[in-house]
Structure 1
């Protein structure tokens, strides 16, 4: 049913992830392969292709097999590189004839920093900055190994591509005349995007990152930097291991220099010596961290072009969440967000940035990690209280469909008419959704109350009849 929703939207591709533990319950290929899991993904991929929708498949979107975390401490352990490569190889073997676009990791920044330093995301470990840097180091090596495996064994036969998807906000200097703010903004983006992109496209961590972490490490005690190092052989092996770069982007921050003394302890955030600010005039339509700042998107894309030799880019995530927890089908703010951000992407294409595709986040309201079901990013509203999890189109469905059909924005008048028609449609659907509790109540009356009353009437009648018969016989 959801693939039919995609077909009605007229998208030409769909981004989905494979769950490592769903096809390898222990995470180890030699121990157990779940054939039902493989069958599920084959059916999904084939169904997409039958509907002329290109599957773009993510191998790792944060769901690590629990056994590997308990036994090896997850991405803290170098053995994960081989286990992940075995898992990827199994996916290439089973799905590679149908899938031509592979993403090894989606937003590894969150895995490393929020999974192994702050503990905000699974596996919830709080290991200070060293834990984050170590996890990232192993993830980068794992990505490179999978790329080489595909290149050596599968590329000639399957003719596919392997890339990575990195999520990054844009950092804008607070004071463009202040060299320290300019450097702080550069540091912000390099610690965010460059942490993973620089080794893959240039062979090593960003110099600014090595310098800052090295200096802070020395201040906090003698010894080597907390940031691991790549050997000359590893640099050569990792460099160039991405056929395309996936970019996830949602928001922007103003950045200013802020000196953190070494006494505050080692952390990714204090290593950067900067502070993040927001403009109170920026719209904040959804999640508290997500401000709508469209111009930052164009600047980030141009940064990628300049920094990494204008690689092929697929925008893998871009979107906004709900304003409120109650049903919001007339999501005008989402339509504005999509229009403004997609326009900035189109400007970047005019700048010469090699953007080949765009993916809105997301088709449905879904589980948003630590936010659970409270943050709704979907074009379709999902009623999680309903047993069947019914889907309702928001206004943005019709609006986005028009953008896809036109491959952009023809003229202001026509775009305004899209907006009006989408709002009219959602108003009707809103009334239906508002009536849903009443409908559910009526279903309860029809399906539960009426039969129950009817049964009680029969029982009472039977008792009265028995009483009368007994009285008559006496």
Structure 2
């Protein structure tokens, strides 16, 4: 059977065709986030977010000095986006609510009628098209007013987030059955408090770790609000979405530092929720206590959980939400070795050097190294650590420069990673229930601005109309979704894109 994407579009090298079916009930979707696509940054009574403040006050923070004031203009063109979602035959569309669009002042005492109208329209529009809405409550756009009060380092944000979640559940839970509380808490804390993402605070030693505890507590409080006040009526499911790279040791001697790097980079955000014991990963807790003592601190920089907090967070999930893009090779840094601040949190905190294999292709985003087997390994590790948990892959995708519609490299990325998902399901008995492509559209890619593109559909950001155009990968992914099977036709590799 010939792929839609191949006909008249792609030159096929060493063509091989196979068909591998996904299990019954497996769901396919695509994702976006509010700040990256909506635009309308000051429309109606919308409040300012930390990203609005960042791009306007520090334009040099963004590679091309751009912003998301208009972005894809999905605030006005949402019906066009939903038309694309429907044409692809997706089972679900994952999008996020802008906290300051719904609650202009960050607090639940004032709900924006315009924000309510907008998200009602998107949710109702999806359901009318037979597509399930998967809604993320927080995808990095914290109301600036809350940041001015300490943001994620202020323990009161736990209740502020719970209040916001309650508003969203009250307004939309009758039509939304799947929720993500917080997207990539590691990016929120380790990026936001290492000066790499908004709010651009550089306080890894204390700020990032306070943030870590508070995002976990905020997630858990939102989960309990739903469980206690909405679950019986609406029977929905909630989780958090963790961004996890696959870490493998460079040599056998690097296994210990690799295990610790895994715990620091993503176990810190998973173990408290998914493990049977709860709390921080024990090896990490010991390391942080010992290291903090050596640094002269009177107590561990990793803030302790109380027993009540451990119980609050433990088990606050209905599935495991996984964002995955790339892999790293871990080795212990040599004494005195200089490690880049952009090398990752494990590099700075643990003295773990993170490298890549020479044969891993580099995407337009310099951090994205292609290693499909890493996803299968990670899925197996989740099952090994946390049992037969249901896993929803909430993001996976590939960036290029967006200069062409015949995006062969992106097709190969999706094909190879989906093949590893199938192997994890069929050979490793991992309970993966769905897959989400990032992203439906080219969008504002945070500090990269518009220099890297992840979209299945290109967006012409030079035109006021922001026209969308299907890439070859959109047609390929559509063929997989409609067939409920992986059509394996590997296309000719193009040159290795670099940032």
d(CA) in 1 for partners of 2:283, 2:229: 36
Structure with more relative contact order (C-alpha pairs < 8 Å, separation 6 or more): 2
- The structure-2 alpha-carbon separation of the partners of 1:74 and 1:67, relative to structure 1 and needing over 3 Å to count, comes to same
Of the three residues 304, 307, 326, the one matched with 1:251 is 326
- Verify the 8 A CA contact 1:220 1:263 in the aligned structure 2: no
2:292 to 185, 206, 217: 217
Look up the match of 2:150.
Answer: 73
TM-aligned CA deviation for residue 237 of structure 1:
1.7
- Normalising by structure 2, we get a TM-score of 0.79
After the TM superposition, which residues 34-433 of structure 1 pair with which residues of structure 2 at under 5 Å, given as runs? 34-70=112-148, 72-116=149-193, 118-175=194-251, 177-178=252-253, 181-202=254-275, 203-258=278-333, 269-322=347-400, 324=401, 327-350=403-426, 351-409=428-486, 412=488, 415=489
What does the per-residue CA deviation read over 1:152-209, in whole Å, with 9 as the maximum and x for residues that have no partner?
A: 110001110111100110001111x32xx11122122211221111001121111221
1:365–1:377 CA contact under 8 A, matched in 2: yes
CA distance in 2, matches of 1:60, 1:211: 31
The one-character-per-residue Cα deviations of 1:11-56 (angstroms, maximum 9, x if unpaired) are: 11010000000011110112x2101101100110010011111111
Say if 2:72 is the partner of 1:4. Answer: no
Instruction: Compute the displacement of 1:358 (Å).
Output: 0.2
Q: Secondary structure at the match of 1:44?
A: helix
Paired residues of 1:255 and 1:276 also in contact (CA < 8 A): yes
CA displacement, residues 304-328 of structure 1 (integer Å, 9 cap, x when unaligned):
1111112111101100001x35x22
Q: Is the CA contact (8 Å cut-off) linking 1:287 and 1:321 kept in structure 2? A: yes
Q: TM-score, normalised by structure 1?
A: 0.83
Give the drift of 1:263: 12
Structure 2 Cα separation of the partners of residues 349 and 40 of structure 1: 38
Structure-1 residue corresponding to 2:100: 21
| Cα distance change of structure 1 residues 408 and 76 upon mapping to structure 2, 3 Å threshold | same
**Cα distance in structure 2, aligned partners of 1:18 and 1:285:** 29
SS at match of 1:335: helix
Q: 1:62 to 1:74 in 2, by over 3 A?
A: same
Offset at residue 211 of structure 1 (A):
2.1
CA contact (8 A) 1:129 1:268 kept: no
TM-superposed deviation, 1:222 = 4.4
The two structures, once aligned, show a CA RMSD in angstroms of 2.0
Q: Deviations over 1:318-367 (max 9, x none)?
A: 00001x35x22110000000000010011111211111000000010001
Q: Aligned residues, how many?
A: 407
The CA distance in 1 between the partners of 2:335 and 2:117, in whole Å, is 52
Distance, in Å, in 1 between the alignment partners of 2:199 and 2:297 is: 30
Larger radius of gyration: 1
Native 8 Å contact 1:101 1:161 kept in 2: yes
CA contact (8 A) 1:219 1:262 kept: no
Structure 2 counterpart SS, 1:129: coil
Change (3 A) 1:296 1:268: closer
- Return 5+ residue gaps in structure 2 as ranges: 1-79, 495-499
Report if the CA contact (8 A) 2:418-2:486 is conserved: no
SS in 2 for 1:64: coil
Q: Per residue, is there more helix in 1 or in 2? A: 1
Unaligned runs of 5+ in 1: 424-474
Per-residue CA distance 1:193-250 (angstroms, 9 max, x = gap): 2111100112111122112222211111141110001111211221100111110000
Offset at 1:369? 1.1
Give, in whole Å, the separation in 1 of the partners of 2:334 and 2:303: 23
Secondary structure of the 2:264 match is helix
Contact 1:259 1:274 in 2 (8 A): no
